[in-house]
Amino acid sequence: MSDKSLPAVNYLKIPDDGNPYLEGHKCGNCGAVFLGERSVCSKCFSRDNMSAIKLEETGVLHSFSVVYRSFPGIDVPYISAIVDLDGGGTVKGNLINIEPDPEKIDFGMKVKLTYQDALGRKDKEGNSYLSYFFEPA
Amino acid sequence: MSDVYVLGVDMIKFGRFPDRTVPNIGAEAALMALDDAGLTIKDMQAMYCGNLGQANAMVGQRILQEIGQTGIPVVNCANACATGATAFREAWMSIKAGIYDVVLAVGVEQMGKGLLGGAGGGDGIPKEGLLGSGTMPCVFAEAGMEHSKDHGTTFEQFAKISVKNHHHSTMNPKAMYQIETPLDVVMNAEMISYPNTKLMCSVNVDGSAAAVLVSEKKAKELGMGRAVRVKASALASDPYTDRDLVMPDVNACTRLAAEQAYEMAGVGPEDINLVELHDCFATAEMLHYENLGLCKDGDAGKMIDEGHVELGGKVPVNVSGGLLSKGHPLGATGIANIYEVCTHLRGEAGERQVEGARLGMTHVIGLGTACGIHILEKV
């Protein structure tokens, strides 16, 4: 078992010295930004032209749903949000620290990333995980 | 290249059949389609079978083991909710290519109840509810909310789509439900993923549908009386769009397939008399009015408000009851909607008949993403 929290997804980076961040992979030819490592761009098909970039911490809410029914054991309601990050890249995640009421959530609202424990979820070995969330900026 | 015709087509009444097997459910529709064509399994030169839940289990061959093992080639295919349409299209292509004159396409699914989808499995910890939701009601809610953002579409407008399709299903004895479902009932049903309430989610059912496709030569030989011409068959995967890998883009994929289908058929949206489109959720149907060119971008809300998509309207959509009330057995859906359109083109749809229907369109979309569109024409 690790004595440190592990990243919930492979594009969440936790440096030994410094703050966690989300990593994108940007095409050097067309500028498309992907989550996760890859060697070929699915937009312009150029090869071996990808480089890792640190994604911005802020963005705007593109779309969302308030989820009232999920699988057993998952707390509801919560907001599932699609966010366009400033500087490129679209990320999906929970939007927290705002009432999960569709009337109170504005499209285009500014949000920022926050990194927190993954709702207490642990793997079979008992490891803890760090995840990312969005909150109003 | 030969034109391709649907000579026989049928579906079973959708329902829940936990005591039957997938091949057994598929065999029933296969026999019905053969009877409708006036042919037998001995006449079939190949079979294309669509099923998702047992994609690795040779469902097509197991159907033949129930209805006649003639040794013909069988292709099993899986393509999410476009599975049935893909099987039908493979059958169509085999005739177009001049390989066969008479082939059988079957779509079948046994579903079970409950939510489909879920965000990311893999290593570590479950991601559902941690990184948003990957459940289908949520994914399609997010797609619908994008429409709300751009065009001000309301919860009530989405809900009206479900009212319409439930109303249509009261006239379809093969639908899972035949229950009038007024607006307040739809809107006050359990909220699953805003704005989709439980009654705005497709019904998980078991079902099967099948079609016998023939070449022009064979159609003429057997009699064109009830034959329906396949005017276009299009299948698209998701083209690159900026958010697609995070938020599956059902719009771009549908628009791509629609453009190809209209071009192949040499017709435009204004020529289409009825449409069976993929209303897996009420939010999805709204998007496809525009994606299929039935109205201008931004006018989808008006299409439902002004009744253009009801039976008797300008272009009736989902007069079968749609996935929302007829039910959505994933692998069968793409052939069941071809059955519905053919039934209208044949003038055999009874109470729900779209009068004078000459051209109809079917559309399915499977997340991942695959869009299948067919345009069918009365002979």
**Helices B136-151/B250-265 angle, 10° precision:** 80
Count of CB atoms situated within 10 Å of the CB of B45: 17
- Whether the per-residue pLDDT at A12 is higher than 70: the answer is yes
- Contact A24/B at CB under 8 A: no
Q: State which H helix or E strand residue A130 sits in.
A: strand A128-136
- Rounded distance, CA B263 to CA B98, Å? 22
> What are the structure tokens assigned to A16, written together?
């030994």
- Rounded distance, CA B337 to CA B322, Å? 8
Q: State which H helix or E strand residue B263 sits in.
A: helix B250-265
- Rounded distance, CA B359 to CA B343, Å? 12
User: Which residues on B lie below 8 Å from A35 (Cβ)?
Assistant: 245-246
Q: What DSSP assignment string belongs to B18-80?
A: TTS-HHHHHHHHHHHHHHHHT--GGG-SEEEEE-STTTTS-HHHHHHHHH------EEEE-BT
- Contact A120/B at CB under 8 A: no
User: Which residues on A lie below 8 Å from B135 (Cβ)?
Assistant: 67, 69-71
How far is residue B101 CA from its own chain's centroid? 25
pLDDT along chain B (379 residues), means of 10: 94 97 98 98 98 97 98 98 98 98 98 74 85 97 98 98 98 98 98 98 97 97 94 98 96 98 98 98 98 98 98 98 98 98 98 98 97 97
B24 within 8 A of B202, measured Cβ to Cβ:
no
- Rounded distance, CA B50 to CA B333, Å? 10
Please list, in sequence order, all residues whose beta carbon lies within 8 angstroms of the beta carbon of residue B220, skipping any fewer than 6 positions away: none
- For tokens 């509801």, what's the residue? A76
Query: Whats the size of chain B, residue-wise?
Result: 379
**Helices B22-37/B59-67 angle, 10° precision:** 60
User: What residue ranges define each of the domains in chain B, with the CATH number in brackets?
Assistant: 4-112+203-378 (3.40.47.10)
Three-state SS at B322: helix
Contact A64 B124 (CB under 8 A): no
* Domain assignment present for A23: yes
Contact B133 A65 (CB under 8 A): yes
A65-80 pLDDT, tens digit per residue, is 999 999 988 999 999 9
- Contact A22/B at CB under 8 A: no
Q: Which of B123, B128, B194 to mutate to test the interface with A (most CBs of A within 10 A)?
A: B194
- Residue type present at position B175: A
> What are the structure tokens assigned to B128, written together?
């559902």
Please list, in sequence order, all residues whose beta carbon lies within 8 angstroms of the beta carbon of residue A16, skipping any fewer than 6 positions away: none
A75 within 8 A of B130, measured Cβ to Cβ:
no
Q: What DSSP assignment string belongs to B68-82?
A: ------EEEE-BTBT
- Rounded distance, CA B171 to CA B353, Å? 9
- Rounded distance, CA B60 to CA B76, Å? 6
* Domain assignment present for A69: yes
- Whether the per-residue pLDDT at A11 is higher than 90: the answer is yes
pLDDT value at residue B121: 57
Q: What is the DSSP letter of A98?
A: S
Please list, in sequence order, all residues whose beta carbon lies within 8 angstroms of the beta carbon of residue A103, skipping any fewer than 6 positions away: none
* Domain assignment present for A56: yes
* Domain assignment present for A1: no
- Residue type present at position B107: G
- Rounded distance, CA B298 to CA B150, Å? 8
- Whether the per-residue pLDDT at A130 is higher than 80: the answer is yes
* Domain assignment present for A42: yes
- Contact B122/A at CB under 8 A: no
Selected residues 86-115 of chain B with any CB under 8 Å from a CB in chain A: 115
Range of the domain at A95: 6-136
* Domain assignment present for A22: yes
pLDDT value at residue B123: 74
- For tokens 């599932």, what's the residue? A80
A31-71 pLDDT, tens digit per residue, is 999 999 999 999 999 999 999 999 999 999 999 999 999 99
The dihedral through the CA atoms of B128, B129, B130, B134 has a sign that is: positive
pLDDT value at residue B152: 97
pLDDT value at residue B122: 63
| Nearest-CB residue to A69 (from B124, B127, B190) | B190
Report the complex ipTM: 0.96
* Domain assignment present for A115: yes
* Domain assignment present for A96: yes
- Contact B182/A at CB under 8 A: no
Domain count, chain A: 1
Pinpoint the alpha helices (H) of B152-246. Answer: 155-169, 183-188, 216-222
**Helices B282-291/B155-169 angle, 10° precision:** 90
User: DSSP E strands: which ranges in chain B?
Assistant: 4-11, 46-50, 74-77, 102-109, 191-193, 196-197, 207-215, 228-237, 274-276, 359-366, 370-378
